[in-house]
């Protein structure tokens, strides 16, 4: 009779991490070597249900890393982060209030899809060019909003991230940089496109989810650009790139903050070494201090850290601004006080004047008044003194 397999403590997935490498017995080898070098049969269930087997070995969940495929849920790790515990796709579907069939429809990656779940369009950028927006259709958007409330809003975020967070804004992002001698601004190229399917799945596994659930969640929150192709009388939408966080999905902003936690902390540590402050608003990285030599050192070192964390700095948008020129952070002037530039305030004052001339002549446009109110309210959020002067007029 074969000897029983020796029980060994479960080790972390990576050295120094707390997430344990808990395994699904279904996916482990049947025969194992014991401490007496005698093959022993590992106790496990004999089979998968047919639908689970098809799903697990489908192209969406396929992976060459067997150690990754067999990972199951680490409840203690999920509890540390206050995340919901989902062991299976069935539990996930129940939490999202959709049928399992619909969940798998939205989270299946196929090279021969006959329908797409996103509407793609382009909007012009202020700096030129176009920004591609991929907006989820109604049913998927409802699922993503539910997922945003249950999971994404609870993911870890660094204290240096000011975008896509309640009680944070362009004002809180700009405040640490007011009155500094020098400001360094960097921009991450293709920010959301760099947060690909594998990074999202890896983050969720590190936070404690098992491989099948983490893969399904990653597929729900990512998508690839697709190109319609007609074969015979059938129209297909094959992907023309890898899956990534679409700019336009409700879950993408929160995911971007969670994926960049390590990047933010490394850049903040680098900034402190040179006596500089650091903040990030989406893909805009800002450093400020009083030493121009340190700013140039950061200009060389920060892009290396960004690349090591899986992103690329857009060198064309890198700027170093001294106090003698206009210093702006995410559109907010920070030379001496927070606010709008003198030119922007003059344009707003002229627009208010033109509106009241039109109002006196009986041709006022209420929609224009609403836009002016919005602009004055924005200025009031940045600088109440500047806003009161305009409102008084």
Tokens representing residue 249 in the block: 């999905």
Gap between the Cα atoms of 371 and 4, Å rounded: 75
> Sign of dihedral through CA atoms 20, 70, 203, 156?
negative
pLDDT at 183 (0 to 100): 97
pLDDT at 32 (0 to 100): 55
Tens-place pLDDT, residues 68-112: 989 999 999 999 999 999 999 999 999 999 999 999 999 999 888
pLDDT at 131 (0 to 100): 87
pLDDT at 31 (0 to 100): 56
Mean pLDDT of 239-256: 95
Going by pLDDT thresholds of 50, 70 and 90, the confidence category of residue 48 is confident
Tens-place pLDDT, residues 26-46: 777 765 555 555 555 555 555
Gap between the Cα atoms of 347 and 366, Å rounded: 19
Tens-place pLDDT, residues 10-22: 899 988 899 999 9
Gap between the Cα atoms of 276 and 259, Å rounded: 23
Question: Are 334 and 328 in contact, with CB atoms under 8 Å apart?
Answer: yes
pLDDT at 353 (0 to 100): 84
pLDDT at 386 (0 to 100): 87
- H helices of 232-314, in order, are 252-259, 261-273, 292-308
Q: Where are the beta strands (DSSP E) in the chain?
A: 31-33, 39-41, 118-124, 130-136, 182-187, 229-231, 234-236, 277-281, 284-289, 319-322, 328-329, 332-333
pLDDT at 47 (0 to 100): 67
Residue-averaged pLDDT of the chain: 89
Question: Are 214 and 88 in contact, with CB atoms under 8 Å apart?
Answer: no
pLDDT at 58 (0 to 100): 87
pLDDT at 154 (0 to 100): 97
Gap between the Cα atoms of 230 and 104, Å rounded: 25
Tens-place pLDDT, residues 275-325: 999 999 999 999 999 999 999 999 999 999 999 999 999 999 999 999 999
pLDDT at 35 (0 to 100): 52
Which candidate, 262, 260, 280, 258, places its Cα nearest to that of 153? Answer: 258
Which candidate, 349, 350, 331, 347, places its Cα nearest to that of 339? Answer: 331
Least confident of 40-44, 113-117, 261-265, 348-352: 40-44
Q: How many angstroms from the chain centroid is the CA of residue 136? A: 16
**pLDDT > 90 fraction of the chain, expressed in percent and rounded:** 63
Least confident of 34-43, 143-152, 343-352, 373-382: 34-43
pLDDT at 2 (0 to 100): 40
Which has more confidence, 295 or 365?
295
pLDDT at 39 (0 to 100): 56
């Amino acid at each position: 009779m074969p000897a029983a397999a020796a029980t060994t403590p479960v080790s972390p997935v990576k050295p120094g991490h707390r997430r344990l490498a808990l395994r699904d017995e279904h996916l482990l080898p049947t025969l194992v070597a014991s401490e007496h070098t005698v093959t022993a049969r590992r106790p496990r269930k004999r089979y998968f249900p047919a639908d689970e087997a098809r799903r697990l070995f489908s192209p969406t969940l396929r992976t060459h890393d067997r150690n990754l495929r067999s990972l199951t849920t680490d409840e203690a790790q999920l509890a540390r982060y206050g995340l919901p515990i989902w062991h299976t796709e069935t539990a996930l579907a129940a939490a999202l209030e959709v049928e399992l069939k619909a969940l798998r429809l939205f989270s299946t990656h196929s090279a021969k899809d006959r329908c797409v779940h996103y509407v793609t369009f382009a909007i012009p950028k202020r700096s030129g060019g176009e920004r591609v927006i991929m907006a989820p259709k109604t049913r998927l958007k409802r699922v993503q909003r539910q997922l945003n409330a249950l999971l994404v809003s609870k993911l870890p975020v660094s204290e240096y991230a000011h975008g896509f967070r309640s009680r944070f804004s362009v004002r809180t992002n700009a405040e640490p940089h007011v009155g500094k001698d020098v400001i360094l601004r960097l921009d991450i190229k293709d920010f959301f496109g760099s947060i690909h399917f594998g990074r999202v799945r890896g983050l969720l596994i590190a936070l404690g989810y098992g491989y099948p659930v983490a893969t399904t969640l990653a597929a729900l929150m990512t998508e690839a650009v697709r190109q319609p192709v007609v074969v015979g009388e059938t129209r297909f939408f094959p992907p023309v790139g890898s899956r990534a966080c679409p700019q336009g999905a409700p879950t993408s902003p929160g995911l971007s903050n969670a994926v960049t936690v390590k990047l933010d902390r490394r850049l903040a540590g680098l900034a402190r070494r040179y006596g500089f402050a650091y903040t990030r608003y989406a893909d805009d990285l800002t450093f400020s201090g009083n030493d121009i030599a340190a700013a140039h050192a950061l200009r060389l070192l920060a892009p290396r850290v960004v690349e090591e964390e899986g992103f690329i700095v857009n060198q064309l948008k890198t700027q170093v601004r001294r106090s003698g020129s206009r210093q702006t952070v995410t559109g907010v002037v920070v030379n001496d006080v927070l606010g709008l530039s003198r030119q922007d305030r003059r344009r707003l004052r002229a627009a208010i004047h033109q509106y009241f001339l039109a109002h006196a002549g009986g041709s006022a446009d209420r929609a224009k008044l609403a836009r002016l109110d919005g602009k004055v309210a924005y200025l009031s959020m940045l600088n109440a003194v500047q806003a009161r002067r305009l409102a008084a007029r």
